[in-house]
Amino acid sequence: MSTTSVSVRSTGRNQVRLLTITALFLGMVIALSSFGIPVPGGHLYLNDVVIAAAALLLDSPHAFLVGGVGAFLGDLFFYPTPMFVSLVTHGLQGIAISLVVQKLWKNHQLASGALAVTLGVLINVVGYTIGRAFLYATPETAMLKLPFQFLQAGVGALIGWLLVYKFGLKNAFEKYLNR
């Protein structure tokens, strides 16, 4: 068994494939950080979808790379002010999601995945609310963004969970690594 959250035979070729998938997810997070869908209160960024999906599939170090480092680089290239907030928040989010899926209710993947992304939403909202309070405004102003932050994180978590468990991304990932 490899250190991924799915059953994978451990070979050198699998490690290269795992690194390749991690790099692909990382690149997607960076690319999706470059634009957002305008909604009342801000923009909806789809990089949260990739962060949630990757964290459901990968072990915690790889999930940290995709979530934390990917979001950090995306912010660095396109909007650098919150890059350290993104590194910490999305990094912790990736680690937490990955650990819950790997360690808790291993035989109940749908439930543990749902719990994991819910925890990820809470980490995302708290992290960005605290970060926003220090970077941009007062805590009161940051609290006004809470509904939008829940929408942003919730949409990303839901779509990521659906992609992994309902639309076959988990099976495709496992098949790719095991061939």
pTM over cut 0.85: yes
Instruction: List CB contacts of 85: < 8 A, sequence separation 6 or more.
Output: 127, 128, 131, 132, 135
**Does the residue 4 lie in any domain?**
no
- The per-residue pLDDT for 4 is 44
Distance of CA 177 to the CA centre of its chain: 20
**Does the residue 131 lie in any domain?**
yes
- What is the token pair recorded at 60? 């915690």
Could you read off the pLDDT tens digit of each residue along the chain, which spans 179 residues? Answer: 334 444 444 567 889 999 999 999 999 999 999 888 888 777 889 999 999 999 999 999 999 999 999 999 999 999 899 999 999 999 999 999 999 999 987 778 899 999 999 999 999 999 999 998 888 777 887 888 888 889 999 999 999 999 999 999 999 999 998 88
**Residue of 118, 130, 128, 127 lying closest to 156 (CA atoms):** 118
- What is the token pair recorded at 13? 């070729």
> What is the domain range of residue 32?
12-178
Contact call for residues 94 and 54 (beta carbons, < 8 A): yes
User: Could you give the number of structural domains in the chain?
Assistant: 1
3-state secondary structure of 41: coil
CA distance 49 to 60: 17
- What is the token pair recorded at 37? 């869908």
**Does the residue 1 lie in any domain?**
no
16: CATH: 1.10.1760.20
Strand partners, 39: 42
**Does the residue 7 lie in any domain?**
no
- What is the token pair recorded at 70? 């990917």
